[in-house]
Structure 1
Amino acid sequence: MNNLVIMKDQQAVTSSLQVAETFNKNHRDVLRAVDDLKEGVAQNWADLFYEDTYTHPQNKQQYRIIYMNRDGFTLLAMGFTGKKAMKFKLKYIEAFNKMESHIKTGGFKVPSTMAEALRLAADQQEQLEVMKPKAIFADSVATSHTTILVGDLAKIIKGNGVDTGTKRLFKWMRDNGYLIKRKGADYNSPTQKSMELGLFKIKESSHVNSDGVTVVTKTPKVTGKGQNYFVNKFLLKNERLEA
């Protein structure tokens, strides 16, 4: 029951393999259950799940695996019933909460004594003196190869005092020329301007719909440089409004 939830691409996620092991199910049945969810959440599937492969420790063959965030797991686990299933769901909730808390605090230990709290406050004040103008990410994040979803960026921005959400952030990006506003196959895809600035990368995934047609979906993911760019842009905007 260890490592129910892990951090991957700056998200708290679990895997279809871990779910199968925890709930004592065949992995292929869990994969099939996730596939069945595609039709119901086709547009948002890539925000909840993403596919990868893993190497089997015995035969060294590559096999399919699906990672899912908290929302994806919640949808999947709705179909798991029984007292044992409820017990495992509660353990997963606890594990997601711990990992998400770890991500938010950057892995820092929460002070348990007054001395630790004072030391932490002093360290933070020292960092604030150095950070001019106000910046959330270090230079290493701006050059990071790790990308995140727009929804996760919205959470980061909101966590820093700017009232926004996923839908509002998508709209703001469209209205300000960062994502394509025109309805069609490229809707919500990064504009040429955004790509030239290096703010986004595009993740492509495909699935076969009920008509047997292969559908390709494109998901914009914010680069490390983009995270730094947008967070600081919103912070400066917020400071001007408060001034």
Structure 2
Amino acid sequence: MNQLTIRSVNGKLLADSREVAEMIEIRHADLLEKIKGYIQYLLNGNFRSSDFFIGSTYKDNLNREKPCYLLTRNGCDMVANKMTGEKGVLFTAAYVTKFTEMERQLSNLHVPRSLPEALRLAADLAEKNQMLLIQAEQDRPKVLFADAVATSKTSILVGELAKILKQNGVETGPIRLFSWLRDNGYLISRKGTDYNMPTQRSMELGLFEIKETSISHSDGHVTINKTPKVTGKGQVYFVNKFKDEQQLA
């Protein structure tokens, strides 16, 4: 059984779904489908799916962006609880051990050796906690949005996505967003019949779908109008991407 790596990301301890899939010896794609089902059940039960699974991406050997999930300890518990036999026991033992080791390492990073040092550390922690509370309040609309549409089958127009982004603090409009999507390889930029249509990469990531509408003209001929629409997964993807870019700016 392969080793499991636990990472600390923004104060959360997380495991990569690719490593989890290797440990329990199933295809990563199959684990992703299982997790999508778990997320739907969680949302139906009014639980925050991000307390268990956090959507993410990685680059494969061909430099293509592929989906994955980061699992919290609760997420690993959920996966393990669905397993039986030796594989389930070994996976449970592995992730419990790794999470415990990581928690111990983080708790032992610094131990104050005097009262003044302890007071300074307490003040620093209080300040950090306050900053985290402020950040959590700022992120709350984005988290609620992500939970609401993560498994949604309703797609929206790019102009509607621009409105959602603006509600989440991104200053943009439909024209600027279309331009950004073309410049960054999500929509086709070359002039022609496929102008502003999703690129192959966007379709493979499941960010867009194409809505076809038949238009009957007065002379009897029929034309097909194609419109790119952003999927529920695409809506979460772009909100998170713009949020990350703002943090890096």
1:125–1:4: structure 2 CA closer, same or farther, 3 Å change rule? same
Identical residues among aligned pairs (%):
17
Looking at structure 2, the residues matched to 11 and 142 of structure 1 have their Cα atoms a distance apart, in angstroms, of: 14
Higher-Rg structure is 2
Residue 31 of structure 1: SS of its match in structure 2?
Answer: helix
Q: CA deviation at 1:88?
A: 2.1
Q: CA deviation at 1:26?
A: 0.3
Say whether residues 1:70 and 2:73 are aligned partners.
yes
The one-letter code matched in structure 1 to 2:118 is L
| Higher RCO (CA 8 Å, separation ≥ 6 residues) | 1
Aligned to 2:49: 45
**5+ residue gaps, structure 2:** 155-231, 240-249
Say whether residues 1:81 and 2:84 are aligned partners.
yes
Are the aligned partners of 2:57 and 2:67 in contact in 1 as well (CA < 8 Å)? Answer: yes
- What TM-score results when the alignment is normalised by the length of structure 1? 0.52
Looking at structure 1, the residues matched to 69 and 108 of structure 2 have their Cα atoms a distance apart, in angstroms, of: 27
Larger helix proportion, structure 1 or 2?
2
1:126–1:208: structure 2 CA closer, same or farther, 3 Å change rule? closer
Are the aligned partners of 1:52 and 1:66 in contact in 2 as well (CA < 8 Å)? Answer: yes
Residue 105 of structure 2: SS of its match in structure 1?
Answer: helix
Looking at structure 1, the residues matched to 115 and 124 of structure 2 have their Cα atoms a distance apart, in angstroms, of: 14
Residue 25 of structure 1: SS of its match in structure 2?
Answer: coil
Are the aligned partners of 2:4 and 2:94 in contact in 1 as well (CA < 8 Å)? Answer: no
1:90 aligned to which of 86, 93, 102: 93
1:23–1:124: structure 2 CA closer, same or farther, 3 Å change rule? farther
Aligned to 2:19: 18
Say whether residues 1:200 and 2:137 are aligned partners.
yes
> Which digits, 9 at most, give the CA deviation of each residue in 1:16-60, with x for residues without a partner?
11101111110001100100102221132122111111111x211
1:127 aligned to which of 100, 114, 117: 117
Looking at structure 2, the residues matched to 35 and 24 of structure 1 have their Cα atoms a distance apart, in angstroms, of: 18
- What TM-score results when the alignment is normalised by the length of structure 2? 0.51
Residue 12 of structure 1: SS of its match in structure 2?
Answer: strand
Residue 52 of structure 1: SS of its match in structure 2?
Answer: strand
Are the aligned partners of 2:53 and 2:70 in contact in 1 as well (CA < 8 Å)? Answer: yes
1:2–1:124: structure 2 CA closer, same or farther, 3 Å change rule? farther
**How many matched pairs?**
149
> Which digits, 9 at most, give the CA deviation of each residue in 1:109-135, with x for residues without a partner?
xxxxxxxxxxx66x2434036x39x51
After TM superposition, the runs of 4+ consecutive aligned structure 1 residues lying more than 4 A away are: 141-144, 213-218
Looking at structure 2, the residues matched to 4 and 46 of structure 1 have their Cα atoms a distance apart, in angstroms, of: 19
